[in-house]
Amino acid sequence: MALFDTLFGKKKKAFRASCLITKEPIEKGFGYLLTTAQVVSSKKYWDMIMTEPETMSYTVSHFQNDAMGTQMRSMIFEKYATIDKPWIVSDSIINYFDVDKSKAREDARKWWDNEGNFEPAETGPATEVLDNPTFEKFKTYAIQEAGRNRVN
- What pLDDT does 14 receive? 80
User: Nearest-CA neighbor of 139 among 33, 23, 50?
Assistant: 50
Domain ranges of the chain: 17-151
Over range 127-139, report the average pLDDT. Answer: 97
pTM over 0.75: yes
- What pLDDT does 151 receive? 84
User: Nearest-CA neighbor of 50 among 142, 149, 134, 131?
Assistant: 142
Helix (H) or strand (E) holding 105: helix 101-113
Q: How confident is the model at residue 80 (pLDDT cuts 50, 70, 90)?
A: very high
- What pLDDT does 15 receive? 84
Task: Convert the pLDDT of each residue in 103-119 to its tens digit.
Answer: 999 999 999 999 999 99
Amino acid identity of residue 1, one-letter, is: M
Task: Convert the pLDDT of each residue in 16-37 to its tens digit.
Answer: 999 999 999 999 999 999 999 9
Helix (H) or strand (E) holding 89: strand 87-89
Q: For the chain, give the mean pLDDT.
A: 93
Question: What is the percent of the chain with per-residue pLDDT over 90, rounded to a whole number?
Answer: 88
Query: Above 60 in pLDDT, residue 5?
Result: no
Over range 57-81, report the average pLDDT. Answer: 96
